[in-house]
Homo-oligomer: A and B are copies of this chain.
Amino acid sequence: MRNQAVVTFQPERKAVSVPTGTPLRDAISKAGIDMEFPCGGHGICGKCRIDVRGEVNLPSEEERELYTPEELEKGLRLCCRVEILGPVDVRALQTPAKTDVILQEGKEPAYEIRSPLRAVDLVLQPPSVTDQRADEERLLEALRSQGIHAKPLPGHLLRNLPRLLRESNWAVTAVLFGEDWLALHSQGTTQGVYGVAVDLGTTTVVASLHDVKTGTEFAKHGMTNRQVVCGGDVISRLSYVRERRDGLETLHRHAAETLNRLIEQLVADRKEEIYAVSLAGNTIMQQLFLQMDPTPIASSPFVPVCHRPSVWKARELGVKIHPDGCVCVAPVIAGYVGGDIVADILAASLYESDETLIMLDLGTNAEIVLTYQHNMTACACAAGPAFEGGEISQGMRAMEGAIERVWVERNELRLGVIGDAEPAGICGSGLVDALALLLETGVVDRTGRLLPPKEYSGPDWLRERIRENVEGTRFVLWENKKSSISLTDKDIREIQLAKGAVKAGIKILCYEQGITVDRIDRVLIAGAFGSHLRPESALKVGLIPPMDIEKVNFIGNAAWVGAKIMLLSEPGMRRSRVISEKMRYIELSGRMDFQSEFGLSMGFDDNWEYFGAI
């Protein structure tokens, strides 16, 4: 038997006892402390820094590279590499995941409020010798006379039916979701009947509370997805599922718990009055939430479990609303074109548009949808983590301290920093801005090369910011005596990979639809990254085809808007299904023309012609 060791966490003053040999990460989880492991605990990202005193294993190779010998001596470690060997004191250096996040609005189309969730008041004719219809028949026919064709009652309601009808004196309230029964009450005993719309993001989960009769939004909250404790992105969460016996169950629980916390914020102690949740997320997020193994999506041929919208009993998913309430999960198009994109399309009324439109949802994975003469085509491409600040030397997510905007005013470089704080790094939109500026001023040439100072013939105030050392060339965006934020040659390469993938995707969609890129009337940009992006910069770096700047529109958190439409509009719900069924999905992986278009799209030119396989 192994010995037990006590692990104490500061400043929380929490302590847990674990067997020696336990990874510190598991002790943290046991202590109920939220800690983010962006790379999923593989020692790659170096972001789970921690200060440890006591009996632990020796530092790993990754840690020896990251820390100076003095720092290691002091106890600085990567949390994911530490094993408990005896009593240990831990001080988390990392900011814990914030529970409140900045909420983003989304543009909304006009739609009629006609929610599939309904509370219908009925007064039934009591039975008589001349009207001996069975209780259920009487109830269903009363609904039918109001134009509502409900399914037969489920067993638990059927069992209670004779008593309820007679005790209520034949006046009841039926709570339905579409044709499905949720509850049946004596009239007058039903409190509210509310619905919740959820955007289940990889990083952030947003939920709003609605009166389903009027659509009125009572509250809206956002929160970091608790799954970040198992990995910051989709890929590291997939590894978590693959590597742990209870990985899928843990991630499912974290997602449900995030949702439950949000619901608690939305309604406090009136959870029983929520009867339906409408939820949209990418395919992997949805499958994790549903506890359906998503690992087949990780490798070719990237297959999801199901396409259709699925309706679940809240209790099957551990979602704490009315015990017979339901959770309706958006349909998906493919393993990498998920319910969030279906929701985006709903929110943007893409299906109804007579224009030729491109919709982009940019992130580690970029989803692209083309609509042309009411035909829709979609593809997904791996853009890499650059848009979210990953794999960028000083990249970070769009949070406090991130440079999110770069521009020039009177020969001076100006920076927009989130929270007006001292710059701590640069996020995706800042990167695109900076690159656009460097291209415009010639600091970066058409091939993506960052010119060394001696080759640069532009103004001095720019040349001064170009530095060279053995590692290569970099452009300093900001510096003070202690530190600096720069863009390196390698960073530019990362952005080129990202934008090359997107450009190639757009070209191939147009080719498959039989049109040229210049036929595109408008570009819609959805998602968190998109909302920070500036169209002029996106145009300058060639992320989107050349067009008038006012033809580039941001649609904000369209996934949440789409989830809301599915909650509040039965036609919207049906439309979501049609979108997933009619959409033509183009698989890019393994296509020879994608390889060549990708290569051709990395340079900074205005050529959007489809070339085809080389």
Of residues 249 to 300 in A, which have CB atoms within 8 Å of B's CB atoms? Answer: 290-296, 300
Partner of A153, one of B129, B162, B306, B332: B306
Return the CB mask of A116-134 against B: 1 if under 8 Å, else 0: 0000000000011111111
- For A590, the chain B residues whose CB sits under 8 A away are 129
Q: Which of A308-316, A342-350, A361-369 contacts B (4 or more CB under 8 A)?
A: A308-316
User: Which residue of the partner chain B has the closest CB to A591?
Assistant: B129
Cβ-based interface call for A135 (8 A): yes
Cβ-based interface call for A391 (8 A): no
Return the CB mask of A155-177 against B: 1 if under 8 Å, else 0: 10011011100100000000000
User: Which residue of the partner chain B has the closest CB to A287?
Assistant: B162
Pair A290/B132 contact, Cβ less than 8 Å = no
Of residues 292 to 334 in A, which have CB atoms within 8 Å of B's CB atoms? Answer: 292-296, 300-308, 310, 312-313, 316, 332, 334
A interface: dominant SS:
loop
Known: A135-B303, A296-B162, A303-B135. Is A155-B308 also a contact (CB below 8 A)?
no
Cβ-based interface call for A69 (8 A): no
State in angstroms the CA–CA spacing of A332 and B128 once bound together.
Answer: 18
Pair B301/A128 contact, Cβ less than 8 Å = yes
Cβ-based interface call for A587 (8 A): yes
- For A293, the chain B residues whose CB sits under 8 A away are 159, 162-163
Q: How far does the Cβ of A222 sit from chain B's closest Cβ, in whole Å?
A: 28
Cβ-based interface call for A589 (8 A): yes
Pair B292/A158 contact, Cβ less than 8 Å = yes
Pair A335/B295 contact, Cβ less than 8 Å = no
- For A587, the chain B residues whose CB sits under 8 A away are 129-130, 132
Cβ-based interface call for A136 (8 A): yes
Pair B132/A585 contact, Cβ less than 8 Å = yes
User: Which residue of the partner chain B has the closest CB to A290?
Assistant: B159
Pair A301/B132 contact, Cβ less than 8 Å = yes
State in angstroms the CA–CA spacing of A296 and B127 once bound together.
Answer: 10
Pair B135/A306 contact, Cβ less than 8 Å = yes
Cβ-based interface call for A137 (8 A): yes
- For A585, the chain B residues whose CB sits under 8 A away are 132
Cβ-based interface call for A152 (8 A): yes
Pair B128/A161 contact, Cβ less than 8 Å = no
Pair A301/B127 contact, Cβ less than 8 Å = yes
Return the CB mask of A415-426 against B: 1 if under 8 Å, else 0: 000000000000
Partner of A134, one of B158, B163, B307: B307
- For A290, the chain B residues whose CB sits under 8 A away are 155, 158-159
Pair B129/A306 contact, Cβ less than 8 Å = no
Q: How far does the Cβ of A262 sit from chain B's closest Cβ, in whole Å?
A: 22
Q: How far does the Cβ of A63 sit from chain B's closest Cβ, in whole Å?
A: 36
- For A303, the chain B residues whose CB sits under 8 A away are 127, 132-135
Known: A134-B306, A306-B136. Is A129-B163 also a contact (CB below 8 A)?
no
State in angstroms the CA–CA spacing of A335 and B133 once bound together.
Answer: 10
Q: How far does the Cβ of A284 sit from chain B's closest Cβ, in whole Å?
A: 12
- For A134, the chain B residues whose CB sits under 8 A away are 303-307, 332
Pair A166/B296 contact, Cβ less than 8 Å = yes
- For A292, the chain B residues whose CB sits under 8 A away are 158-159, 161-162
State in angstroms the CA–CA spacing of A153 and B128 once bound together.
Answer: 41
Q: How far does the Cβ of A259 sit from chain B's closest Cβ, in whole Å?
A: 17
- For A136, the chain B residues whose CB sits under 8 A away are 305-308
Q: How far does the Cβ of A133 sit from chain B's closest Cβ, in whole Å?
A: 7
Pair B159/A129 contact, Cβ less than 8 Å = no
- For A130, the chain B residues whose CB sits under 8 A away are 587
- For A307, the chain B residues whose CB sits under 8 A away are 134, 136-137
Pick 26 A–B contacts, CB within 8 A, sort by A: A127-B301, A129-B590, A132-B302, A132-B587, A134-B303, A134-B304, A134-B305, A134-B307, A134-B332, A135-B303, A135-B305, A135-B306, A136-B308, A137-B307, A152-B306, A152-B308, A152-B310, A155-B290, A155-B310, A155-B312, A158-B306, A158-B310, A159-B290, A161-B292, A162-B293, A162-B296
> A136-B306, A136-B308, A162-B293 known; 10 other A-B pairs, CB under 8 Å?
A127-B301, A129-B590, A130-B587, A132-B334, A132-B587, A134-B304, A134-B306, A158-B305, A161-B305, A163-B293
Nearest 6 Cβ contacts at the A-B interface = A136-B306, A162-B293, A127-B303, A127-B301, A134-B304, A134-B307
